[in-house]
Structures are given as structure tokens and as C-alpha cells.
Amino acid sequence: MIEAFTEAFGHAPGGVWRAPGRVNLIGEHTDYNDGFVLPFALSRGVSVAAARRDDGMVEVRSRQAGTAVTAPVDGGTVVSENWPPDRAWAAYPVGVARVLREHGTGGASLLIDSDLPQGAGLSSSAALECATALALCDLYGVEIDRPALARLAQRAENEQVGMPCGLMDQSASLLCTPGHALMLDCRSGLSSQVPFDPAAAGMTLLVIDTRASHALTGGDYGRRRAECEEAASLLGVKALRDVRDLAAALETLGDPVLRRRVQHVVTDDHRVEATVGLLRAGALPELGAMLNASHLSLRDQFEVSWPEADATVDAALRAGARGGRMIGGGFGGSVIVLTPADRAQRVRDAIASAYAQRGWTAPEFLEATPSEGARRLS
């Protein structure tokens, strides 16, 4: 990265920072309902080599995308500037620079490198935001604690990119630790580290990129969020996290769509707590049942699954996996499957052949190890 940066910008960087992508074990579409999530960090992520500059500009280059983008730090919002699709990736680092400017950071030259697949639902955008945020804070000597930095990176995505995401992905990238999943209360921002080591329990957690690419900046994610907010307001609660009596809530709501959304959010919040209980009790293989229940709920109640995800879970279970589910916002992206390690190859083969039978692009497999959160590399 240091040589590549020097070649691109004609001088050495001030440092190199890296932030990981994430897998969410359970608790999907619960973050913007003030609920609970349980993500862990992947070993793959986004690296940013960066140097300060004093002309008030952010210049971003990427080793993956051809176009270099230069924009003023004190511009308005990227979303209102209507950037063309080939510059869309740069909205994340520029957006972060614009938000952090209020906290004392300034212009920078940034070179970005990623080994995370984009559109695979593994949070490459949050990784890019978080690596950029850490780089800018260090370069300008600005101290912001990590939970607060996660909220600022989320704000950059909400306001600058126009994606109404919750707090999960940025928190996962900044707060996760190796060998643990992060139990995050998205209302208070408080979190705890929950031991999660599939290999030690004789299990493998496969991440399967279904190759059905997702783009959450389209309207579906925002619509789900709006439906949840409407349901909360009809139920007279601040957020769906506050629903105490699910049966009574479902009876109150006339609209079957809103009833389905509430059913998912409330039950997935409980599944997060149950999953944390199982992990703390050393019952990791039992997570399979939780993953299956979450997948069915996302498919039938929240209606964000897609055909490749359903076929992946189905093939995995038939081949002897303990459980599986779609992860992330949905409508494309990745699936996780929990399987005894000695059946992992059989499960992979079964999934690959299900895709081949349907004439779909072959899926990509990754064995996930809970890894380190964002950090400075040099």
C-alpha cells in the first residue's frame, strides 16, 4: 500500500488503516428498530493509505475502481450533488470526510484497496467508511471514541450517501474482536463481546456469496424501514424494540404487511438474546435452529430473501448442516451456514450442485473466522 500510494500521489502516506467487513450472526433489520444485533468481523476488509492535504480537498483513488475522484471537504451532501454511478463508491469516503470535518479533520489523499466482494452483503461500504474515519482522525489528531465514531460513519451514510442504514455495520467494523461476536444494543450503543469460536466447537461457519448482487440504495430497504416506523407509531411505541406483547400488537394492527414486519422484528430481537444465551452456555451447535427460524422469518414475514438464498439454505440443510440464513439487508448478497466441520465439504458440494442444476452462476465460499476490528496497520 505504501509503495502504491507513493506512486499514485508522489509522496509517502502518513499511515495505512484497515477496517473489516462483517457477518451478522443474527438480528436482521433490528438495528434501525433500536433492537439487538450480533455481528462478527471477517478477516477480509478495506485498507486505506492516507496523507493530509492542506488545499481543503479529498482525493480518493482505488486499486479496484479506475476513476479517481476529487471533491471539496466542505461541500454539501454527495447525495444532492447527484454523483454518476462510476463515482458512487467515492461517496463513502468523501461523505465521511465531510461529516468528520465538523470534528476537526480536513482534506486528505486516500488510496483504497479491498479484498471484500462488493454487493455481497458483507458490508464493504461500512468497512470503507470506518477505515477512512480512523485514517482522518489519526492524521488530524482528533480523538473520538469508537462507538461515537460508528455513529458518525452511519450518519455519513445516511446523510451523504442517502442510504438509511442502522448502526450495525459500522459498529461491527470498529468494535469487533477476534474470537467473539458483538452483542450490540442499538438504542444505548452499549455492547459486549460474546465468545464465538466455531472451530473450537467442531463446527464450520460458511459464508456463501450467492452472486445475486444487492444494492440497498434502491427503495426496498428504505420501504421496510418506513413500514417499521409506521407500525411503531400506530402501536404508540418509540420503536419496535419497545413492543412487549407481540400478540396484542398484532391484534392492534389492521394491515397484514405491517403485522408481518412487526412479527419479524420482535421475534428476531428475542432470537439475538437466545443466541447469546446459547453461546455463553457453550452450546454453539444449537445456534442452527436460531439461524433457520431467522431465515424463515426474513423470507416469509419481512420478505427480503431471494431465490438463491432460499435454495442455499435448503441445499445445506438437506446435506446435514445445522442451520443457515440470509444475512444483511437482503434482496441479494450472502448466506451463512453452520455445519459440523466434518460435513462442510458435503454441504459445499450440495450447494454448488443446486446452483448448477438451476443454471445459476457458481456461488463463492468463504470460511469465516471471527476476526479483528478496524486498526492502524502502519
As a whole number of angstroms, the distance between CA 40 and CA 197 comes to 11
**Helices 124-140 and 91-101 sit at what angle, rounded to 10 degrees?**
40
Query: Which conformational region is residue 303 in: left (phi greater than 0), alpha (psi within -120 to 50 degrees), or beta?
Result: left
Helix (H, G, I), strand (E, B) or coil at 92: helix
Residue 18 sits in the site that holds ligand GAF (CB under 6 A): no
Give CA 339 to chain center in angstroms: 22
376 DSSP β-pair partners? 17
Which of 214, 230, 299 lies closest to 33 in space, CA to CA? 230
Residue 28 sits in the site that holds ligand GAF (CB under 6 A): yes
Question: Nearer Cβ to ligand GAF, position 147 or 285?
Answer: 147
User: Which residue out of 31, 113, 169, 209 is catalytically annotated?
Assistant: 169
Task: Confirm if 302 and 270 have CB atoms less than 8 A apart.
Answer: no
Question: Nearer Cβ to ligand GAF, position 29 or 322?
Answer: 29
Closest distance of CB 356 from ligand GAF, Å: 29
113 catalytic, yes or no?
no
Using CB under 6 A, which of the segments 138-146, 166-174, 238-246, 357-365 binds ligand GAF?
166-174
As a whole number of angstroms, the distance between CA 54 and CA 52 comes to 7
Binder of ligand GAF out of 5, 32, 36, 355 (CB under 6 A): 32
Residue 165 sits in the site that holds ligand GAF (CB under 6 A): yes
Closest distance of CB 167 from ligand GAF, Å: 7
Residue 241 sits in the site that holds ligand GAF (CB under 6 A): no
Question: Which three cell numbers, joined as nine digits, stand for 267?
Answer: 421475534
Task: Confirm if 316 and 350 have CB atoms less than 8 A apart.
Answer: yes
Using CB under 6 A, which of the segments 41-49, 52-60, 138-146, 162-170 binds ligand GAF?
162-170
Question: Nearer Cβ to ligand GAF, position 15 or 333?
Answer: 333
Closest distance of CB 266 from ligand GAF, Å: 15
Which ranges in the chain belong to alpha helices (H)? 2-9, 78-81, 91-101, 124-140, 146-155, 168-175, 219-235, 246-252, 256-280, 287-300, 307-318, 344-358
HSE toward the beta carbon, residue 12, CA cutoff 13 A: 3
Question: Nearer Cβ to ligand GAF, position 180 or 214?
Answer: 214
Within residues 196-225, the interface with ligand GAF by CB under 6 A covers: 216
Task: Confirm if 310 and 332 have CB atoms less than 8 A apart.
Answer: no
Closest distance of CB 23 from ligand GAF, Å: 11
Binder of ligand GAF out of 13, 21, 29, 338 (CB under 6 A): 29
Q: How many binding residues for ligand GAF (CB under 6 A)?
A: 11
Within residues 302-331, the interface with ligand GAF by CB under 6 A covers: 328-329
Give the residues lining the site for ligand GAF (CB under 6 A): 28-29, 31-32, 165-166, 168-169, 216, 328-329
Active site residues: 169
